[in-house]
Amino acid sequence: MKIGVLALQGAFIEHESKLAELGIQPVQVRLAEHLQDIDALIIPGGESTTIGKLATQYGLIEPLREFARQKPTWGTCAGMIFLAKDIGIDRQPILGLMDIKVNRNAFGRQIDSFEQDIEINGIGDAPFHAVFIRAPIISEVMEHAHPEVEVLAALDDGRIVAAQQGHLLATAFHPELTDDQRLHRYFASMVQST
């Protein structure tokens, strides 16, 4: 199995290390042709406006969209913003594939970074230590979507921080920055089952 990591900007190296720990060969994706050789893709956290700008410059928006329409794709943090259909901003380039509404920088300035143990459906009962860095949230899961959007994790106040829609996975936090491998394993199992 080969999993690509979009390597334009942000925390791509950390994702690569996590994949390597699991014995999966990571592939850096910087050009459209790099997508030909991979089974799945991770879009890392970073700055979604920068990732969008660079993806536009490198002619990657349409190839990425085409890839993620068909193959397992996981967006973390800025990557989640990049996957969403609605981010409330028209001018920022995104892939616009997942039926979720996302608010950027949802935690404001005072607590724009924090860590919290959360429960995530599908990865076992033990809490996952989630690192939120100027994180977005999923403010709304669109109804009547096909396939349905499944909420995997929410904070105590109900704000959604992880969701899955078929072969698309989105997390508001940075699972590549902790020792816990369960979300990377979960994604690998999504890839295996497609």
Task: Let me know: does 1 contact 186? Beta carbons within 8 Å.
Answer: no
We find the least distance from the C-beta atom of residue 180 to ligand GLN, in angstroms, to be: 17
DSSP letter, residue 102: E
| Nearest approach, Cβ of residue 31 and ligand GLN (Å) | 22
| Count of CB atoms situated within 10 Å of the CB of 37 | 10
Tell me whether residue 48 or residue 165 sits nearer to ligand GLN (CB atom). Answer: 48
d(CA 13, CA 132) in angstroms, rounded, equals: 18
Binding residues for ligand GLN, per CB under 6 A? 45-48, 77-78, 81, 104-105, 133-134
Q: What gap in Å lies between CA 179 and CA 18, rounded to an integer?
A: 9
The distance of closest approach from Cβ of residue 194 to ligand GLN in the complex, given in angstroms and rounded to an integer, is 26
Residues with catalytic roles: 77, 174, 176
Among residues 44 and 63, whose Cβ is nearest to ligand GLN? 44
Instruction: Return the number of the residue (145 or 155) whose C-beta is nearest ligand GLN.
Output: 155
